[in-house]
Amino acid sequence: MLRAAAAAAAIFPARFAAAPAVAAAEELRSPLLRVLGTLRGGRGSVLLGRRARFCSNSSASDSEAVAAAAEAEAKAEDATVAEGEADGKASSAIVPTNPQIEDCLSVVALPLPHRPLFPGFYMPVYVKDQKLLQALIENRKRSAPYAGAFLVKDEEGTDPNIVTGSDSEKSIDDLKGKDLLKRLHEVGTLAQITSIQGDQVVLLGHRRLRITEMVEEDPLTVKVDHLKEKPYNKDDDVIKATSFEVISTLREVLRASSLWKDHVQTYTQHIGDFNYPRLADFGAAISGANKFLCQEVLEELDVYKRLKLTLELVKKEMEISKLQQSIAKAIEEKISGDQRRYLLNEQLKAIKKELGLETDDKTALSAKFRERIESKKDKCPSHVLQVIEEELTKLQLLEASSSEFNVTRNYLDWLTVLPWGNYSDENFDVHHAQKILDEDHYGLSDVKERILEFIAVGKLRGTSQGKIICLSGPPGVGKTSIGRSIARALNRQFYRFSVGGLADVAEIKGHRRTYVGAMPGKMVQCLKSVGTANPLVLIDEIDKLGRGHSGDPASALLELLDPEQNVNFLDHYLDVPIDLSKVLFVCTANVIEMIPNPLLDRMEIIAIAGYITDEKMHIARDYLEKNTREACGIKPEQVEVTEAALLALIENYCREAGVRNLQKQIEKIYRKIALQLVRQGVSNEPDQEALSITENEEPSNATEKDEILKDAAVEDASVTSNMINPASEEANELNITTEAPKEDGVSEGKDTDGAKEDAADKAIKKVVVDSSNLGDFVGKPVFQAERIYEQTPVGVVMGLAWTAMGGSTLYIETTKVEEGEGKGALVLTGQLGDVMKESAQIAQTVGRAILLEKDPDNQFFANSKLHLHVPAGATPKDGPSAGCTMITSMLSLAMGKPVKKDLAMTGEVTLTGRILPIGGVKEKTIAARRSAIKTLIFPSANKRDFDELASNVKEGLEVHFVDTYSEIYDLAFQSDAGAETS
Ligand code: ADP
């Protein structure tokens, strides 16, 4: 503001300016001027050396001003010449002496409201008083265009420091004569009227005046004395020093302010001699000081004192300019780093564009990544944001064709696509969970109970993290589908990956980014695919983990699963820790013994043993059949699979513990039914529900229904191709009325049952699958009854085995190879493992001891070479549970006595005949039931396991729990032993 005031008062508007030329020689004469000149840069002398005209506006309205300026210029030029002549005698003259100036002893008084006018400066003033204005115009027309310019005093009682608008100006205009005189400072300036435009009068200050008396009242005209500075010694050290200080201070201020530079330029262009008094005037005029301080300088005729006053003013000015600089700096610092960065980035972009490095792709790419991460910004950990930011910057700098660019792009793609902090709301509602589990699975009440317990704990804790569930059991018992149901119950996304045979640690932990084709590990892929950070991850076949050649997959998996470690899981590719603690892991395994111990330690095992026929019937009816029917688009009224057919299917085709094979067989049946229906001309509308279920599933896991449909397509194709051939056996076997279109080249099918009218008339066609035609749909039975013998022959005993596939029954056979004194020996076949081989030897020893006890005369073991075989295919068998079966088989042969009918046994025997416990009681019981066994022998240590079984499994079985072999002997060979029947 101060500066603005100074500008208004001291700068003369460029368009009114007519700068008188100053001879270059004259300028050089003044060292001070040279100093100031250098401040304007090299252009100074050039400008000074020629006529400069500040009139740049040549519009018509300004023409008068231009003319006036030209006139003033001409006069000033005269003055310069005159000054040159008078130089020697009037060194103290402020402005060049004009002969007419001396005559100006009475002048029109012009009140200046804001600042006094200093010699050498231009000042525009507005004259409101018309009479005064007229007098000035007339003055100008005459040969004496001069007036006296006097600063107006403040009214008494007003504070000069307070700005009060234009009130005082107004009152000044109203004052006349003596009143006006009273309000004017006595000392003023003789001002040349350089131009008048409207009420604007431009004055150029010449020399100091003092009012002596009033001559005329309106317009106020006064008599004046012309003032001159008191004589001073040019070489006075104090004056010199003071003036130098003024100059150096001015230089300092000039350096900072461009506004001041303009002042200097204007001033030096038309002021000739630059002596000490003038320096003082200059400093005071361009300083933004208060008008009264300026008036003081004007009134001071002592050169030293004037310089001192000016020095004070310019020092103050310097302080102000320093303050201004610090304010500017502070404001600049406030412009935040972001804006700066933005500017720099824009510049960088411009530079790149200029160099042809910038491609639009790159910008679009970073914009895409930025947009992606923008929505996750508040949830995303700061260390990840930082990495993303760094990578984005890197991307900008890289050449788009370089391989590193691609690496960075892929990396950013992964980083930004992950669901940072995005969790699905967990549902811990136990009733809801129960409903879903029942909806998806029949039976399995103990398993469901365990899962509900787990959910209940989750509800109370508020989180289900920190637990790893492991579902173990034979294939097809529903481990995977239970995992899926748990996810559904908890409202978590489901992701499944199998680690069976996995040997490469990078599958789990990812590759380092430097490898070609590097990919993140399975877990990161999972997060990307499910889009939430708390999915349920099903890790399949954890018992079949491979052995890594570099690194151990088991320990990598441990890192992934262990709640202690997975809070900061570090994928090699991602290179930033991710929090997997919210992920719920469910593993599946067939045999828990094969799970690496450190993993097993952290797991909660839930075992699923397998299903008995009754359970399979329910599963087949209520779940498998229903799903398959929907997947095949068949309506319930179009098909009927009878109870007997289903039972036959289960008993004769699908004997394994699980139901996967059963499911496959049912699918096979339904596909054939579908074909049959289509051949009969049925066309069902696509089942909307089935379609929508398929669409809602995650893309990573092809649903079973999809698979069914796919399989169906493949199989149908083969069936169709069979059907095309009329001689096809299958076509003839199926009871189908075939109405194939003639153009397909298919001849009319044969109606073997003579039901032609059915195909023609019935609107709803129904296919019935009965036990009698089951073979037409699923082929010949795979299994004959596991039970081969109604009554086992001598030397054959039924044992119970337990494998990864579930429980099964098997016959152990012993026969005599040759007999002779001391020929006693044992040959074993049936791909037995070491444990079973030892069992067989123990069996022979213990059998011999028992026989000796029961029939001391029998030399069978001593004289017979025995051959023991464990049949049931080429499967390698091993495990400590066949000992007692082997003994029984040998004893049966030795005594020539078959064992009790419908008996099966399991248990290991020590040399002293003690029976050791076995595993898989439930599986074995289920297997025994399947083989229609009525009497079972278990080690008594397994009684508790058996008691825990569901009553429908135990139902109708006669079970004996034994401690020693002699008890088995009694049960097997004598039929009167006491038994416990459930
Ligand atoms: P696993 O993972 O144990 O090998 P799956 O989970 O793949 O077995 O199950 C095979 C099929 O059997 C699935 O379609 C599943 O729905 C079905 N299934 C298994 N057990 C049951 C059950 N108790 N009730 C209904 N369906 C079942």
Q: Please write the tens of the pLDDT for every residue from 586-596.
A: 999 988 888 88
Q: Please write the tens of the pLDDT for every residue from 320-343.
A: 888 888 888 888 777 767 788 888
How many CA atoms, within 13 angstroms, populate the side-chain half-sphere of residue 136?
29
Give the model's pLDDT for residue 713: 42
Give the model's pLDDT for residue 328: 82
Give the model's pLDDT for residue 55: 32
Q: Are 48 and 37 in contact (CB under 8 A)?
A: yes
pLDDT at 496 exceeding the cut of 90: yes
Give the model's pLDDT for residue 480: 92
Which protein residue has the closest C-alpha to ligand 1 atom 19? Answer: 478
Give the model's pLDDT for residue 495: 95
Question: Ligand 1: distance of its center to the CA of 659 in Å?
Answer: 6
Give the model's pLDDT for residue 834: 83
Question: Ligand 1: distance of its center to the CA of 966 in Å?
Answer: 42
475 is in an annotated binding site: yes
Question: Ligand 1: distance of its center to the CA of 691 in Å?
Answer: 21
Which protein residue has the closest C-alpha to ligand 1 atom 5? Answer: 478
Instruction: Pick from 249-253, 691-695, 867-871, 926-930 the range whose average pLDDT is largest.
Output: 867-871
Give the model's pLDDT for residue 169: 52
Give the model's pLDDT for residue 471: 92
Which protein residue has the closest C-alpha to ligand 1 atom 6? Answer: 478
Confidence of residue 426 (pLDDT cuts 50, 70, 90): confident
Phi/psi of residue 791, nearest 5 degrees: -125, 120
Residue to probe by mutation, ligand 1, list 477, 606, 670, most atoms within 8 Å of CB: 477
Question: Measured between alpha carbons, how far is 858 from 862 in angstroms, rounded to an integer?
Answer: 9
Question: Ligand 1: distance of its center to the CA of 663 in Å?
Answer: 9
Among residues 195, 881, 889, 892, the one annotated as catalytic is 881
Q: Are 672 and 716 in contact (CB under 8 A)?
A: no
Q: Which atom of ligand 1 is nearest to the CA of 622?
A: 25
Question: Ligand 1: distance of its center to the CA of 560 in Å?
Answer: 27
626 is in an annotated binding site: no
Task: Let me know if 285 is exposed, middle or buried by CB neighbors in 10 A (0-12, 13-18, 19+).
Answer: buried
477 is in an annotated binding site: yes
Q: Which atom of ligand 1 is nearest to the CA of 623?
A: 25
Q: Which atom of ligand 1 is nearest to the CA of 608?
A: 3
Active site residue 881: yes
Q: Please write the tens of the pLDDT for every residue from 894-925.
A: 988 899 888 999 998 898 888 888 888 888 88
Q: What percent of the chain has pLDDT over 90?
A: 15
Give the model's pLDDT for residue 266: 66
Question: Measured between alpha carbons, how far is 428 from 431 in angstroms, rounded to an integer?
Answer: 9
Is it true that domain 796-973 has CATH number 3.30.390.50?
Answer: no
Question: Ligand 1: distance of its center to the CA of 328 in Å?
Answer: 76
Residue to probe by mutation, ligand 1, list 497, 621, 623, most atoms within 8 Å of CB: 623
478 is in an annotated binding site: yes
pLDDT at 793 exceeding the cut of 60: yes
- The secondary element (H helix, E strand) that includes residue 452 is helix 445-461
pLDDT at 84 exceeding the cut of 80: no
pLDDT at 785 exceeding the cut of 60: no
Residue 460 gets the label, from left (phi > 0), alpha (psi -120 to 50) or beta, of: alpha
CATH no. of 107-155+174-226: 2.30.130.40
Question: Ligand 1: distance of its center to the CA of 835 in Å?
Answer: 33
Confidence of residue 485 (pLDDT cuts 50, 70, 90): very high
Give the model's pLDDT for residue 784: 58
Question: Measured between alpha carbons, how far is 135 from 222 in angstroms, rounded to an integer?
Answer: 13
Question: Ligand 1: distance of its center to the CA of 479 in Å?
Answer: 6
Question: Measured between alpha carbons, how far is 71 from 195 in angstroms, rounded to an integer?
Answer: 9
Give the model's pLDDT for residue 936: 92
Which residues face 537 on adjacent strands? Answer: 495, 585
Question: Ligand 1: distance of its center to the CA of 658 in Å?
Answer: 7
Which protein residue has the closest C-alpha to ligand 1 atom 18? Answer: 478
The amino acid present at 530, given as its one-letter code, is V
Which protein residue has the closest C-alpha to ligand 1 atom 22? Answer: 441
* Average pLDDT across the chain, whole number: 76
Residue 41 gets the label, from left (phi > 0), alpha (psi -120 to 50) or beta, of: left
Among residues 668, 765, 900, 924, the one annotated as catalytic is 924
Question: Measured between alpha carbons, how far is 482 from 429 in angstroms, rounded to an integer?
Answer: 17
Q: What percent of the chain has pLDDT over 70?
A: 74
Give the model's pLDDT for residue 810: 84
* Region 814-826 average pLDDT: 86
Residues with CB under 6 A from ligand 1: 441-444, 475-481, 588, 619, 623, 658-660, 663, 704
Distance from the first to the final alpha carbon of the chain: 109
Residue to probe by mutation, ligand 1, list 469, 481, 663, most atoms within 8 Å of CB: 481
Q: Please write the tens of the pLDDT for every residue from 660-719.
A: 889 999 999 999 888 888 888 777 765 444 444 443 333 444 444 444 444 444 444 333
Which protein residue has the closest C-alpha to ligand 1 atom 15? Answer: 478
Active site residue 170: no
Q: Please write the tens of the pLDDT for every residue from 169-217.
A: 556 777 888 888 888 999 999 998 888 888 899 998 888 999 998 888 8
pLDDT at 45 exceeding the cut of 80: no
Question: Measured between alpha carbons, how far is 904 from 885 in angstroms, rounded to an integer?
Answer: 8
* Cα distances (angstroms) measured from residue 943 to each of 17, 671, 915, 918, 960: 122, 45, 13, 11, 9
Q: Please write the tens of the pLDDT for every residue from 112-144.
A: 988 899 888 888 998 888 888 888 888 888 767
Question: Measured between alpha carbons, how far is 680 from 661 in angstroms, rounded to an integer?
Answer: 29
pTM above 0.75, yes or no: no
Q: Which atom of ligand 1 is nearest to the CA of 483?
A: 6
* Cα distances (angstroms) measured from residue 665 to each of 127, 612, 620, 670, 733: 114, 17, 10, 9, 18
Strands 494-498 and 536-540: parallel
Question: Ligand 1: distance of its center to the CA of 431 in Å?
Answer: 22
Tell me, what DSSP letter sits at residue 899? Answer: P
Residue to probe by mutation, ligand 1, list 616, 659, 701, most atoms within 8 Å of CB: 659
CATH class of 430-607: alpha beta
Q: Are 518 and 413 in contact (CB under 8 A)?
A: no
Alpha helices in 11-129 (DSSP H): 24-29, 31-39, 43-48, 63-86
Give the model's pLDDT for residue 494: 94
Strands 200-216 and 221-226: antiparallel
In this predicted structure, which of 773-777, 782-786, 843-847 has the lowest mean pLDDT?
Answer: 782-786
pLDDT: is 95 or 441 the higher one? 441
Q: Which atom of ligand 1 is nearest to the CA of 443?
A: 23
Give the model's pLDDT for residue 248: 86
Q: Which atom of ligand 1 is nearest to the CA of 540?
A: 2
Q: Which atom of ligand 1 is nearest to the CA of 482?
A: 6
Considering the segment(s) 613-680 as one domain, its CATH architecture is: Orthogonal Bundle (1.10)
Instruction: Pick from 477-486, 594-603, 655-664 the range whose average pLDDT is largest.
Output: 477-486
Confidence of residue 68 (pLDDT cuts 50, 70, 90): very low
Note if the bond before 219 is cis, omega within 30 degrees: yes
Q: Which atom of ligand 1 is nearest to the CA of 624?
A: 26
Which protein residue has the closest C-alpha to ligand 1 atom 20? Answer: 478
* Cα distances (angstroms) measured from residue 707 to each of 374, 632, 660, 704: 39, 11, 13, 5
* Cα distances (angstroms) measured from residue 207 to each of 102, 106, 148, 304, 308: 10, 14, 10, 18, 20
- The secondary element (H helix, E strand) that includes residue 60 is none
Q: Please write the tens of the pLDDT for every residue from 521-550.
A: 999 999 999 999 989 999 999 988 887 677
Q: Please write the tens of the pLDDT for every residue from 247-265.
A: 888 888 777 666 666 667 6
pLDDT: is 300 or 714 the higher one? 300
pLDDT at 40 exceeding the cut of 80: no
Question: Measured between alpha carbons, how far is 887 from 913 in angstroms, rounded to an integer?
Answer: 10
Alpha helices in 855-919 (DSSP H): 860-863, 883-895
Confidence of residue 466 (pLDDT cuts 50, 70, 90): low
385's CB contacts (< 8 A; 6+ apart) are: 373, 377
